[in-house]
Structures are given as C-alpha cells and as structure tokens.
C-alpha cells in the first residue's frame, strides 16, 4: 500500500474518540553507567517496527555520514508529493531540531535516499540496531521510504536500550560529532521530579498479509534517557492498543512513562 495511505491511516488514530485500552508490552529501564536493569516488565525481547523512534539512530547515521552538519544545517524545504499528514509543521523549512520535534517523515526520507540501502544496513549492523533490514515491503522496492514504518526494519525494547546506553556513554562506533549532535537535538521534555528527560516517540499499525492495516491494534513507543545529578538511565516502553482510541499511542506512551519514571526508579531501590 502507498506510504501516504499508511501515514494517513496512522494519523487517523488521533481522530478516534473511544477510551484508550492499551496493553503495555514492555517497560525496561537500565542504569546507563553500569548496565544494571532497574525495571524490566513484559515481553522486552520481541521485535516490532521502531516507527519514528528510528529517528534517533538515523540522526547518528546522518551526522556520522556528513549529511547532517549541525542543528540547523541542512535546512530543507517541503516539496510537493512529500508526506504531509503531520499538518502545517511538516510544510515548513525543517532542520534537525524540527525534524525530531515534529517527527517529519520526509526529512528522514531525504537522509535515507541520500545514503542508500546498503549504507543504512551497514550502519545498522555496526550499531547493532535491530535486524538492520531496509528492504521495505516485499516486492515493493520502498525500503528507503518506509522500512522503519511497520515494514522490514524491526527492533526489540532491549535492543533499543542497548543502543541508547552506548549512545549516552559515547561508545557507538561513530564520530564524536555524531554522538554530540544527536544528544543535543533529541527533544528534551519538561523536568520531572528533578529528572531531565530526552526521548523520541513512535507509532505505527501492524500490517496484515495484504499490506492493509490492523487499525485496532497500533503500537506506541517512547525511548530515551533521563539524567538527575550524576545518574543517567536509559529506557524503552512499548504499548499496543486493542481498539481505535483518541490521541497517538506514542504520545500517550511518552506522557505515561514520564509521569511514572520517578516512582519506578524510587520503588526499584536500585
């Protein structure tokens, strides 16, 4: 199915008015310095689409490859035919800051098309980012447009956390500039009980065998890191709704985890 149809179907989640009925598939939190697991609940090993959480890895790749230079270079313009379901924020000139804040799909596509499938696969392999599969839908030749959106690229919550831990510890096999810039441009949320939280949401619907969408069961992700004093933790939460509901599942996942994170850390005793 056409990417625009995919994105419009995903966007339709926000227009539904029933009460949220979300199952938390996994919550995992780990100490960034030691790697010690603080919280691990649910199925954290199963791989699903990363959806827009892939933008964190793509930022690293974009900066390391030289496509991205700094927070504002390049600043790219919306073009006719680009995905536009994100509304007016997607039609404005976009740099790395706006790309991550507003989750602009076409900016991701500029990077992926510039680099190509082999380079993306090689980077994902080097970064241990999920299955590293950028082939896209079988027989559709659309991996550079949508491999990370309910398609071929898949990652587990535990793999997300392992990647993020290497990122915040500056241990990824990329340039210091790529690490520094990614840590700088990922969106920072309002402080929660002294914790400064940065992260990325993601949302997508499962695909059926005929590439139609299971609109009843969209996934929602929130992945990132939180710092308080000299302590940093990395986290991933993955949910799945069981019906159409108001709001995007990624944003609901983010808001819930941010609210719960201080108590999760306090109650763990770790």
Those residues with Cβ within 8 angstroms of residue 56's Cβ, 6 or more apart along the chain or in another chain: 100, 163, 164, 167, 182, 186, 200, 223, 224
What CA–CA distances, in Å, run from 250 to 14, 135, 184, 240? 11, 25, 21, 10
Instruction: Say whether 50 sits in a helix, a strand or coil.
Output: coil
Catalytic choice (52, 108, 151, 156): 52
At 67 the pLDDT is: 98
- What does the chain come to in residues? 270
At 11 the pLDDT is: 46
Q: How far is it, in rounded angstroms, from Cα 209 to Cα 230?
A: 48
Structural domains of the chain, count: 1
Tokens 């991996």 belong to 143
What CA–CA distances, in Å, run from 65 to 134, 243, 245? 17, 40, 39
Residue 150: which domain range? 3-11+20-268
* Conformation bin of residue 37: beta by default, left when phi > 0, alpha when psi is -120 to 50: beta
Q: Which helix (H) or strand (E) holds 165?
A: helix 157-168
pLDDT tens track, the chain, 270 positions = 445 444 444 444 443 333 446 799 999 999 999 999 999 999 999 999 999 999 999 999 999 999 999 999 999 999 999 999 899 999 999 999 999 999 999 999 999 999 999 999 999 999 999 999 999 999 999 999 999 999 999 999 999 999 999 999 999 999 999 999 999 999 999 999 999 999 999 999 888 777 777 778 889 999 999 999 999 999 999 999 888 777 789 999 999 999 999 999 887 666
CATH of the domain at 39: 3.40.710.10
Closest C-alpha to 246, from 11, 7, 20, 21: 20
User: b/e per residue, 19-35, with b = 16+ CB within 10 A?
Assistant: ebebebbbbbbbbbeee
Q: How far is it, in rounded angstroms, from Cα 60 to Cα 53?
A: 12
Farthest-apart Cα atoms in the chain, separation:
53
At 202 the pLDDT is: 97
DSSP secondary structure code for residue 187 in this structure: P
Our answer to whether residue 267 is catalytic in this structure is no
Sheet holding 195-204, edge to edge: 37-42, 22-31, 231-241, 219-228, 195-204, 188-192
Q: Taking CA 230 as the corner, what is the angle to CA 267 and CA 225, rounded to the nearest 5 degrees?
A: 65
At 212 the pLDDT is: 77
At 268 the pLDDT is: 67
Global confidence as pTM:
0.90
Question: What is the CB neighbour count within 10 angstroms for residue 70?
Answer: 14
On whether the CB atoms of residues 198 and 187 are closer than 8 A, the answer is yes
């Amino acid at each position: 199915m056409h990417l625009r149809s995919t994105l419009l179907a995903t966007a339709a989640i926000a227009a539904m008015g029933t009460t949220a009925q979300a199952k938390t598939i996994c919550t995992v939190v780990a100490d960034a310095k030691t790697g010690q697991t603080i919280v691990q609940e649910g199925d954290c090993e199963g791989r699903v689409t990363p959806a827009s959480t892939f933008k964190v890895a793509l930022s690293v790749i974009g900066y390391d490859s030289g496509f991205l230079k700094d927070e504002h270079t390049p600043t790219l313009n919306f073009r006719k035919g680009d995905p536009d379901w994100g509304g007016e924020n997607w039609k404005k000139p976009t740099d790395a800051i706006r790309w991550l804040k507003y989750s602009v799909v076409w900016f991701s596509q500029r990077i992926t098309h510039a680099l190509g499938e082999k380079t993306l696969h090689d980077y994902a392999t080097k970064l241990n980012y999920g299955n590293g599969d950028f082939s896209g839908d079988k027989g559709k030749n659309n991996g550079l447009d949508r491999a990370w959106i309910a398609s071929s690229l898949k990652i587990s919550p535990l793999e997300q956390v392992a990647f993020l831990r290497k990122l915040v510890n500056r241990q990824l096999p990329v340039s210091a500039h790529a690490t520094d810039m990614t840590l700088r441009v990922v969106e920072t949320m309002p402080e929660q009980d002294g914790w400064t939280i940065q992260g990325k949401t993601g949302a997508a619907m499962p695909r059926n065998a005929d590439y139609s969408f299971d609109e009843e069961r969209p996934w929602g992700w929130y992945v990132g890191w939180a710092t308080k004093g000299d302590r940093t933790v990395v986290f991933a939460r993955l949910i799945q709704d069981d019906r159409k509901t108001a709001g995007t599942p990624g944003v609901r996942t983010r808001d819930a985890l941010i609210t719960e994170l201080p108590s999760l850390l306090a109650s763990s005793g770790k």
